[in-house]
């Protein structure tokens, strides 16, 4: 019945062709009114809401960073890289292994350190890494994670994707699923399915607000700064450098770009490098934020990353970041209305909704 | 003689039979090397056939969706979960009659619950496909994956673990899972079939093996039924439209076929079969939990199809035989053979320790570690194999068999004409 009402509205063009937009705005308005109602009635405290928003923002920035690489390769090479989640995982393990090596060098056996004490040979409390106590180790890990991600992405492109690039988008998708499982279970082979605790707690800013306190942890501050700096860097690269302009040109119209003499192989490699590096950063930081890492850390993120990329519009760097932040906010702020078990499902539901109503997303079609 | 053998080979069933026979022979040999008695060998073959048949049904459905209709469904496990969870909830004893500490259900008889489960899976398929019809293949794939994950999250949610609605208490068991239903084959052999069990025990075969073998027989019949159904479907006018949709949807629409209706119908049929698959697969194991319905299973079923070649039913079955026999169960037998014949010292440690020992000249810890990690290495092997397949032989074993939509094969006519023109030395 709802469908027939919607159909009638569309057919008779009652809303001037903007059915979806107005529908979305109405729902948004209703939610906002309900939010205000809960705040004023005391059901929801300002501290709690602020906490949700802050968590959503930090989580969303990670999803957004991871999404940039996915979005770029989806647009440029025209396939959905389902292995992107496992790039995130693999680089995160490399990065944290390095961080542990840095922090515990000399005191502990390097094999145990680099492999995060798999099998119970080492515990986070022994090494005691946190943002406050071992900043150099964290930074080293961050850099190694980014480099590992970049190298992994280019390597896998050379090994797997480049030879079947002509085979079409579905073959590449299936190949990426193969790469995903290979990477994931190589990680299991080395690290087993164990969940690794990583850090000990650092300081927390507590901001008093009506109803309680807003907790801003040190990792989340680091996260936000790194993300913003990275986004600035990517923006500068895309707008100021020649290669960046070439990337935007190729994203817009590949054949035309080739005719104008833009070296497409270089652009493709650069795209993988950037995408992989950002995936590495995202992986390292989500592990830092959660304080734990497992072989599934990237995969559990992947569908939400897809959601963010689709919402923002495939091919748009800013869209990917904005979409990621939106997804982060939606999955955290929806805790106001739905139980925690379903917030992830809500994120997927929104993605399905976007695919069905506006598949080109918010900024669909352009690279910036 | 050779000629008649090759014409015999043309028959699909012969191909399937020979492949199966070869894999059986391999397993019997391995069993003999491991010192299995009659009971052991029968159990080994039973387990092999059990998995082959189930993967076969899954592969046939994937082939129906993808090979025939061009619908890229990677949410397979979600529909299996819907089928088995619905059946479980429908058939578990009502609150008050169930053994204490277990979840109650609606207490319906098993046959009705099974029908309910299949219908629920079909309905979920309808919900998934109806809005997604306009999407292109990769977006459709993402939507099916999202659906499967939403289903898994819902099954895992603690809020739904046990709840009361309209006065009845039911539940999904949440993350812990839920006990399913007793196997009617079990009940048969405990009742009317007791004499058969007694006769078998004189050969050293115990009751549970007899039940197991009988169940596998039933499942094989089910596979045959699904195969027959899909072949009939594919060779019908309905199937011809499906192939037309796969090859060129716009052309098919231009011929006044309501492609959406066809896609919906074939998707629902496939999802119904998947629901039944979940009911007889995970349901027959006695206990289900959300952790069973993970994308890895979808991945395995898909690779069985890809090995065999999308578009061919025979290929799907042979792909399942090869996948289960060699890639899935193979490493486990290899491990047992190595453990039996190669004396390895020491115990399993961690990867860094094993590699350290290897570099120091001691091979044993590394081998031990690998033997311990066969389940992870199995997936790595599958992934690498998939990538190699896609590079070297993307059409799989039987992909060149892809059935075309037209009843007259124009492609082969053109090819023949070109060949004969070349042979005649015509310049065209």
Q: Which of B137, B350, B384 sits opposite A170 (nearest CB)?
A: B137
Query: Cα angle vertex A54, ends A49, A58, to 5°?
Result: 150
Residue of A122, A163, A167, A189 to mutate for B, most B C-beta atoms under 10 A = A189
pLDDT surpassing 80 at residue B344: no
pLDDT surpassing 70 at residue B250: yes
- Residue A365: inside a domain, yes or no? no
* Tens digits of residue pLDDT in B118-127: 999 999 999 9
| B-proximal residues of A, 106-145, CB under 8 Å | 111-112, 114-115, 118-119, 121
Q: Which of A114, A341, A348 sits opposite B146 (nearest CB)?
A: A348
Q: Which of B139, B306, B391 sits opposite A355 (nearest CB)?
A: B139
State the DSSP code for B71: -
Q: How far is CA B88 from the centre of its chain?
A: 20
- Residue A8: inside a domain, yes or no? no
Q: What is the pLDDT of residue B308?
A: 87
Q: How far is CA A303 from the centre of its chain?
A: 10
- Residue A12: inside a domain, yes or no? no
For A64-83, b/e burial (b = at least 16 CB within 10 A) is: bbbbbbbbbbbbbbebbbbb
Q: How far is A193 from chain B, CA to nearest CA, in Å?
A: 10
Helices (runs of H) and strands (runs of E) counted in chain B: 19, 4
More confident of the two residues B359 and B301: B301
Nearest of A70, A79, A75, A74 to residue A251 by alpha carbon: A75
Host H or E run for residue B226? helix B207-234
The percentage of residues in chain A with a pLDDT greater than 90, rounded to a whole number, is: 32
Asked if A352 lies within 8 A of B143 by C-beta distance, the reply is yes
Q: Which of B143, B147, B373 sits opposite A189 (nearest CB)?
A: B373
Cβ(B52)–Cβ(B219) under 8 Å? no
Q: How far apart are CA A228 and CA B222, in angstroms?
A: 58
ipTM: 0.86
Contacts with A79 from chain B: Cβ below 8 Å: 138
The highest-confidence range among B38-42, B158-162, B217-221, B312-316, by mean pLDDT, is B217-221
State the DSSP code for B14: H
Count structural domains, chain A. Answer: 1
Tokens 């909830």 locate to: B89
Q: How far is B123 from chain A, CA to nearest CA, in Å?
A: 17
Q: What is the pLDDT of residue B269?
A: 95
Residue A352, chain B, CB below 8 Å: the answer is yes
Q: How far is B45 from chain A, CA to nearest CA, in Å?
A: 28
Cβ(B328)–Cβ(B51) under 8 Å? yes
Contacts with B391 from chain A: Cβ below 8 Å: 160, 163-164
Host H or E run for residue B310? none
Q: How far apart are CA B326 and CA B380, in angstroms?
A: 14
Residue B394 in tokens: 């993307």
- Residue A6: inside a domain, yes or no? no
| B-proximal residues of A, 8-47, CB under 8 Å | none
Contacts with A356 from chain B: Cβ below 8 Å: 131-132, 135
Cβ(B423)–Cβ(B256) under 8 Å? no
Q: How far is CA B93 from CA B85, B98, B103, B160, in A?
A: 14, 5, 8, 18
Q: How far is B283 from chain A, CA to nearest CA, in Å?
A: 25
Q: How far is B78 from chain A, CA to nearest CA, in Å?
A: 14
More confident of the two residues A11 and B381: B381
- Residue A255: inside a domain, yes or no? yes
pLDDT surpassing 90 at residue A176: yes
Q: Which of A79, A111, A181 sits opposite B379 (nearest CB)?
A: A181
Asked if B153 lies within 8 A of A342 by C-beta distance, the reply is yes
CATH number for the domain spanning A127: value is 1.10.3470
Residue B360, chain A, CB below 8 Å: the answer is no
Tokens 């994931």 locate to: A184
Phi, psi of B235 (to 5 degrees): -90, 5
Residue in chain A lying closest to B127 (CA):
A352
- Residue A121: inside a domain, yes or no? yes
- Relative orientation angle of helices B137-156 and B110-129, to the nearest 10 degrees: 140
Q: Sign of the CA dihedral A303, A307, A310, A312?
A: negative
Q: What is the pLDDT of residue A170?
A: 85
Q: What is the pLDDT of residue B400?
A: 66
Residue in chain A lying closest to B157 (CA):
A341
Q: Which of B153, B352, B373 sits opposite A115 (nearest CB)?
A: B352
Residue A208, chain B, CB below 8 Å: the answer is no
Parallel/antiparallel/unpaired status of strands A292-293 and A196-197: antiparallel
Residue B393 in tokens: 């032989």
Q: How far apart are CA B43 and CA B58, in angstroms?
A: 23
Residue A337, chain B, CB below 8 Å: the answer is no
pLDDT surpassing 90 at residue A279: yes
| Domain extent for A72 | 43-357
Residue in chain B lying closest to A343 (CA):
B153
Lowest mean pLDDT of A14-23, A194-203, B381-390, name the range.
A14-23
| Average pLDDT score over residue span B164-172 | 80
More confident of the two residues A92 and B414: A92
Q: Sign of the CA dihedral A82, A84, A88, A91?
A: positive
What's the pTM?
0.87
Cβ(B60)–Cβ(B315) under 8 Å? no
Q: How far apart are CA A110 and CA B304, in angstroms?
A: 42
pLDDT surpassing 60 at residue B428: no
The highest-confidence range among B146-150, B204-208, B257-261, B367-371, by mean pLDDT, is B146-150
Q: How far apart are CA A328 and CA B70, in angstroms?
A: 33
Q: What is the pLDDT of residue A18?
A: 63
Q: Which domains, ranges and CATH numbers included, belong to chain B? A: 12-341+373-418 (1.10.3470)
Q: How far apart are CA A92 and CA A282, in angstroms?
A: 8
Q: How far is CA A24 from the centre of its chain?
A: 25
Cβ(A303)–Cβ(A327) under 8 Å? no
The highest-confidence range among A52-61, A160-169, A248-257, B394-403, by mean pLDDT, is A52-61
Q: How far is CA B210 from CA A329, B39, B166, B192, in A?
A: 56, 10, 43, 14
Question: Alpha helices, DSSP H only, in chain A?
Answer: 2-11, 19-41, 46-76, 84-104, 110-114, 124-127, 135-156, 169-191, 218-240, 242-252, 254-259, 264-290, 297-312, 317-333, 343-357
Host H or E run for residue B168? strand B168-170
- Residue A156: inside a domain, yes or no? yes
Cβ(A93)–Cβ(A181) under 8 Å? no
Q: How confident is the model at residue A177 (pLDDT cuts 50, 70, 90)?
A: very high
Nearest of B192, B272, B290 to residue B233 by alpha carbon: B272
Q: What is the pLDDT of residue B75?
A: 93
Contacts with B137 from chain A: Cβ below 8 Å: 169-170
> Percent helix, strand and coil across chain B, each rounded to 5?
70, 5, 25
| B-proximal residues of A, 283-322, CB under 8 Å | 303, 306, 310
More confident of the two residues B218 and B158: B218
- Residue A311: inside a domain, yes or no? yes
For A340-351, b/e burial (b = at least 16 CB within 10 A) is: ebbbbbbbbbbb
The percentage of residues in chain B with a pLDDT greater than 70, rounded to a whole number, is: 93
| Average pLDDT score over residue span B52-80 | 93
Residue in chain B lying closest to A82 (CA):
B142
């Amino acid at each position: 019945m709802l469908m027939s009402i919607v159909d009638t509205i569309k057919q008779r063009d009652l809303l001037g062709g903007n059915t979806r937009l107005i529908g979305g705005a109405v729902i948004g308005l209703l939610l906002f009114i309900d939010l205000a109602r809960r705040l004023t009635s005391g059901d929801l405290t300002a501290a709690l809401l602020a906490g949700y928003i802050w968590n959503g923002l930090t989580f969303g920035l990670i999803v957004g960073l991871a999404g940039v690489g996915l979005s770029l390769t989806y647009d440029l090479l025209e396939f959905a890289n389902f292995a992107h989640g496992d790039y995130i995982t693999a680089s995160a393990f490399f990065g944290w292994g390095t961080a542990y090596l840095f922090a515990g060098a000399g005191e502990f056996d390097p094999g145990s350190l680099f492999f995060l004490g798999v099998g119970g040979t080492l515990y986070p409390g022994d090494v005691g890494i946190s943002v406050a106590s071992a900043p150099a180790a964290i930074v080293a890990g961050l850099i190694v994670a980014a480099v590992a991600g970049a190298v992994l992405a280019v390597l896998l492109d050379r090994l797997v994707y480049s030879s079947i690039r002509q085979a079409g988008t579905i073959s590449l998708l299936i190949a990426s699923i193969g790469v995903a499982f290979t990477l994931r279970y190589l990680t299991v082979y080395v690290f087993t399915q164990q969940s690794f605790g990583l850090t000990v707690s650092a300081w927390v800013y507590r901001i008093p607000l009506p109803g309680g306190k807003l907790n801003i942890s040190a990792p989340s501050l680091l996260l936000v700064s790194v993300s913003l700096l990275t986004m600035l860097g990517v923006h500068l690269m895309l707008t100021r450098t020649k290669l960046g302009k070439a990337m935007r040109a190729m994203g817009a119209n590949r054949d035309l770009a080739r005719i104008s003499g833009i070296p497409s192989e270089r652009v493709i490699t650069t795209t993988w490098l950037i995408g992989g590096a950002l995936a590495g950063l995202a992986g390292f930081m989500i592990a830092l934020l959660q304080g734990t890492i497992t072989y599934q850390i990237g995969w559990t993120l992947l569908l939400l990353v897809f959601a963010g990329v689709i919402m923002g519009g495939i091919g748009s760097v800013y869209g990917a970041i904005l979409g990621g932040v939106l997804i982060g906010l939606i999955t955290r702020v929806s805790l106001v209305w739905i139980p925690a078990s379903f917030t992830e499902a809500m994120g997927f539901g929104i993605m399905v909704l976007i695919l069905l109503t506006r598949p080109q997303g918010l900024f669909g079609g352009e690279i910036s | 003689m050779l000629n008649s053998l090759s014409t015999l080979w043309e028959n699909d069933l012969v191909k399937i039979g020979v492949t199966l026979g070869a894999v059986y022979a391999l397993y019997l040999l391995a069993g003999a090397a491991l010192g299995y008695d009659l009971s052991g060998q029968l159990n080994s073959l039973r387990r092999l056939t059990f998995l082959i048949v189930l993967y076969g049904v899954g592969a046939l459905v994937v082939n129906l969706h993808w090979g025939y209709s061009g619908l890229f469904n990677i949410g397979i496990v979600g529909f299996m979960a819907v089928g088995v969870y619905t059946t479980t909830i429908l058939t578990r004893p009502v609150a008050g009659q169930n053994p204490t500490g277990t979840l109650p259900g609606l207490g319906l008889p098993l046959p009705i619950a099974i029908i309910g489960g299949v219908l629920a899976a079909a309905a979920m398929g309808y919900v998934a496909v109806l809005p997604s019809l306009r999407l292109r293949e990769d977006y459709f794939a993402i939507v099916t994956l999202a659906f499967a994950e939403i289903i898994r999250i819902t099954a895992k949610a603690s809020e739904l673990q046990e709840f009361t609605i309209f006065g009845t208490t039911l539940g999904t068991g949440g993350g812990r899972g839920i006990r399913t239903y007793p196997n009617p084959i079990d009940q048969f052999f405990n009742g009317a079939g007791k004499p058969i069990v007694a006769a078998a025990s004189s050969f050293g075969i115990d009751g549970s093996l007899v039940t197991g073998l009988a169940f596998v027989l039933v499942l094989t019949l089910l596979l045959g039924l699904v195969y027959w159904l899909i072949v009939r479907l594919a060779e019908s006018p309905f199937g011809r439209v499906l192939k037309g949709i796969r090859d060129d949807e716009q052309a098919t629409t231009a011929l006044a076929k309501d492609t959406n209706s066809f896609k919906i119908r074939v998707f629902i049929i496939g999802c119904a079969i998947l629901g039944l698959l979940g009911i007889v697969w995970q349901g027959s194991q006695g206990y289900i939990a959300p952790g069973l319905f993970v994308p890895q299973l979808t991945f395995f079923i898909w690779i069985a199809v890809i090995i065999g070649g999308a578009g061919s039913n025979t290929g799907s079955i042979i792909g399942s035989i090869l996948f289960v026999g060699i890639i899935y169960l193979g490493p486990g037998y290899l491990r047992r053979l190595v453990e039996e014949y190669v004396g390895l010292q020491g115990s399993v440690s961690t990867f860094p320790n094993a590699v350290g020992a290897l570099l120091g000249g001691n091979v044993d810890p590394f081998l031990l570690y690998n033997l311990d990690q066969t389940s992870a290495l199995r997936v790595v092997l599958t992934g690498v194999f998939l990538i190699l397949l896609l590079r070297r032989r993307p059409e799989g074993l039987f992909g060149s068999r892809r059935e075309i939509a037209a009843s007259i094969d124009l492609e082969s006519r053109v090819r023949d004409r070109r060949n004969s023109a070349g042979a005649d030395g015509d310049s065209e």
